[in-house]
A and B are shown apart, each in its own frame.
Chain A
Amino acid sequence: MAYPTDRKYTKEHEWILANGNTATIGITNYAQESLGDIVFVELPKVGAELTAGKTFGTVESVKAVSDLFAPVSGTVTEINADLATSPENVNKDAHAAWMIRISLKDPKQLDSLLSSSDYEKFVAEEGGH
Chain B
Amino acid sequence: MRYLPKSPADREAMLKAMGLRSVDDLFAPIPAEYRLNRDLKIPRQMAESEIVDYFRQRSRENAEGYVSFLGAGAYSHYRPVIIDSLISRGEFLTAYTPYQAEISQGTLQSIFEFQTMISELTGMEVANASMYDGSTAAAEAVMMAVRLTGRRSVVLARSLHPEYREVLATYATHQGMPLSVAGFGENGRVNLAELEKSISAETACVLIQSPNFFGTLEDVAAVADIAHRNGALLVVSIAEAVSLGIVEPPREADIIAMEAQSFGVPLGFGGPYCGVIATREKFVRQMPGRLVGQTVDKHGKRGFVLTLATREQHIRREKATSNICTNQALVALMVNIFMTVYGKVGLKELAKQNLAKAAYAAAQFGKQGEVLFGGAPRFNEFVVRTSEDAYAINNRLLGHKVIGGLPLKKFYPELGNAALWCCTELTTRSSIDTAVGLVAESERSVQSAKQETEEMVR
Q: Which residue of B lies closest to A65 (CB)?
A: B310
- Distance of B62 from chain A, by nearest CB (Å): 46
Are A62 and B309 touching (Cβ within 8 A)? yes
Enumerate A80-109 residues with CB–CB distance to B below 8 Å: none
A: contact size bracket: under 10
Residues of B within 8 A of A (CB): 285, 309-310, 315-316, 319
Q: Which residues of A contact B285 (CB under 8 A)?
A: 40, 42
Q: Which residues of B contact A129 (CB under 8 A)?
A: none
Known: A40-B285, A42-B285, A65-B319. 14 other contacts (CB 8 A): A39-B310, A40-B310, A60-B310, A61-B310, A62-B309, A62-B310, A63-B309, A63-B310, A63-B315, A64-B310, A64-B315, A65-B310, A65-B315, A65-B316
CA separation between A64 and B315, bound complex, in Å? Answer: 6
CA separation between A63 and B309, bound complex, in Å? Answer: 7
Q: Which residues of B contact A62 (CB under 8 A)?
A: 309-310
- Distance of A58 from chain B, by nearest CB (Å): 8
CA separation between A40 and B308, bound complex, in Å? Answer: 9
Q: Which residues of B contact A63 (CB under 8 A)?
A: 309-310, 315
A63-80 interface mask toward B, CB cutoff 8 Å, 1 = contact, 0 = none?
A: 111000000000000000
CA separation between A74 and B94, bound complex, in Å? Answer: 54
CA separation between A42 and B282, bound complex, in Å? Answer: 13
Q: Is the interface of B mostly helix, strand, loop or mixed?
A: helix
CA separation between A84 and B239, bound complex, in Å? Answer: 35
Counting chain A CB atoms within 10 Å of each CB, the highest count among B309, B310, B315 belongs to B310
CA separation between A42 and B285, bound complex, in Å? Answer: 10
- Distance of B428 from chain A, by nearest CB (Å): 54
Q: Which residue of A lies closest to B309 (CB)?
A: A63
CA separation between A20 and B315, bound complex, in Å? Answer: 39
- Distance of B80 from chain A, by nearest CB (Å): 38
CA separation between A62 and B319, bound complex, in Å? Answer: 16
CA separation between A40 and B315, bound complex, in Å? Answer: 15
Q: Which residue of A lies closest to B285 (CB)?
A: A40
- Distance of A114 from chain B, by nearest CB (Å): 27
User: Could you give 16 example pairs across A and B, Cβ below 8 Å?
Assistant: A39-B310, A40-B285, A40-B310, A42-B285, A60-B310, A62-B309, A62-B310, A63-B309, A63-B310, A63-B315, A64-B310, A64-B315, A65-B310, A65-B315, A65-B316, A65-B319
CA separation between A61 and B315, bound complex, in Å? Answer: 11
CA separation between A40 and B286, bound complex, in Å? Answer: 13
Q: Which residues of B contact A65 (CB under 8 A)?
A: 310, 315-316, 319
CA separation between A65 and B311, bound complex, in Å? Answer: 9
CA separation between A42 and B315, bound complex, in Å? Answer: 16
Q: Lowest 4 A-B CB distances belong to which pairs?
A: A60-B310, A65-B310, A65-B316, A65-B315
Q: Which residue of A lies closest to B316 (CB)?
A: A65
A8-51 interface mask toward B, CB cutoff 8 Å, 1 = contact, 0 = none?
A: 00000000000000000000000000000001101000000000
Q: Which residue of B lies closest to A59 (CB)?
A: B310
- Distance of A47 from chain B, by nearest CB (Å): 13
CA separation between A60 and B316, bound complex, in Å? Answer: 10
Counting chain B CB atoms within 10 Å of each CB, the highest count among A42, A60, A63, A64 belongs to A60
CA separation between A76 and B316, bound complex, in Å? Answer: 25
Q: Which residues of A contact B310 (CB under 8 A)?
A: 39-40, 60-65
Q: Which residues of A contact B309 (CB under 8 A)?
A: 62-63
Q: Which residues of B contact A40 (CB under 8 A)?
A: 285, 310
Q: Which residues of A contact B316 (CB under 8 A)?
A: 65
Q: Which residues of B contact A39 (CB under 8 A)?
A: 310
